[in-house]
Chains A and B, each alone.
Chain A
């Protein structure tokens, strides 16, 4: 964990609704692992007392990238960030995905919309190739498909309106694949997206006696485990307890999560 003043190297749109921010962070970027996040202080947001968390999309050399969508006040004010602007970052934060996929397992990534960003970082760092299932509302919400294909991954797409891939939820192509293409292989799931999707992936993993690593998202305060704003009910050694999503997570194994919402 470091606190570093970075500068913006690039800030480009990715389709109509998303943007990629590349930051120069020589100290922090080399420490980043897939599934971790950074906490960004948005200088433009003068009256804000909280930083904003973003999962890490890429970390290469001294550069670290995030992929974001404008969803609130913080991300709206980030539109104005220009090349060479300073940005203060705390990170990398959180536990990250386990990288050691068992030799006998096939990595299966499940993404809801831009939840695909940390999964791309994971795929880049993983020695094995597998399958990505990505779902979204419309075709414009399906990102990075070509990037995954270039890495040699199989990609299956679902959209709510059927504008790309299968019409429906991402679990539709996932279930079909589990029934027809598994051929004795053991999947190991890695998922990032809305809670409903995470729970659905977790349920399938538990039922099949497979592992599922879920990236949870909760409203955070400090980002380092001090304020206890982002707690999640979990089962640890058979006991119910409250885990801090920012520090003990954001990655949890499906069996440990106790869903209440």
Chain B
């Protein structure tokens, strides 16, 4: 019998647990000529703020061994621009749409959430409390327990959509952050965002990125992310979406065994745009080979 891949995560139905991560897949059309969006579980679109935002100066990205450091700085067309330009396209596809949202203040976050509450075709909100590349907002919320609690509760109060805080990796106790999100009304969690990182040109002695530092993503961070997902899974009951350096089905399965209900492919979209599709096929054949009926049997199946 063919194993079933479909899941319902925080009330969001997906045909499989494989998503594409915010910031690595644009708003949908960018990769649509190469990747059939109807085959993916969900798309998490690039972070949206209340008003259009220009992001950081260039250079914004540098490759390092096993990954890249980015400091895009959340450039985006704002709620209105995104909704008008991209939602018609996304509504035309059979894919769960999760919008990553951010703001510089709690009020901005809640206003964005309230606006998306009215937008047809949005299935959930990923709350970016962990971007390392903006001065205000972002990880200034996600690395402080009190701010995280206040922000999640405030967003919860303004939307009926499932809310999914995206956690920062650079905290001393990921379980505590996961728990505070759960206690304040989060329906699921995404973990983890990129790691604060930096590269220096030794000839000029200048930082390579105009923003000085950025966030590290890619295969280099995968084992660290597995540990964080494992820790968070022990702390909460709500479902986890795991991301961090997935390049193959093996990486995705590892996350699910550690505690994730779904996974998101990020940086690998740049390397190999078909990675997410290969991960879906790879999970299916793994389940068949291990005689598992459903992908849900994989979740939190670690043997200690």
Contact = CB atoms under 8 A, between A and B. Distances in A.
B58 A41 contact: no
A230 B58 CA distance: 7
Interface stretch (A126-134, A142-150, A153-161, A217-225): A217-225
A50 B273 contact: no
A218 B58 contact: yes
A221 B68 CA distance: 9
A81 interface: no
B58 A51 contact: no
Given A49-B219, A51-B270, A221-B270, A227 B34 contact: no
A48 B63 CA distance: 7
B75 interface: yes
In the complex, which range does the number of interface residues on chain B fall in?
20 to 34
A224 B20 CA distance: 15
Contacts of A50: 63, 68, 270-271
A229 B70 contact: yes
5 contacts: A47-B65, A224-B26, A224-B31, A226-B25, A247-B30
Interface residues of A, number: 26
Interface string A196-220: 0000000000000000000000110
B84 interface: no
A224 B72 CA distance: 15
B30 A49 contact: no
Contact of A231 (B24, B46, B55, B274): B55
B63 A49 contact: yes
Contacts of A225: 26, 30
A1 B271 CA distance: 16
Contacts of B273: 3, 90, 224
A242 B270 contact: no
A245 to B, nearest CB: 10
A49 B75 contact: no
B75 A228 contact: yes
A49 B60 contact: no
Nearest to A245: B58
B70 A227 contact: yes
Contacts of B26: 222, 224-227
A51 B268 CA distance: 11
Contact of A222 (B66, B218, B270): B270
Contacts of A228: 46, 55, 60, 72, 75
Contact of B58 (A3, A90, A226, A229): A229
A227 B23 contact: yes
Contacts of A47: 65-66, 219
Contacts of A247: 30
B170 interface: no
B58 A231 contact: yes
A49 B268 contact: yes
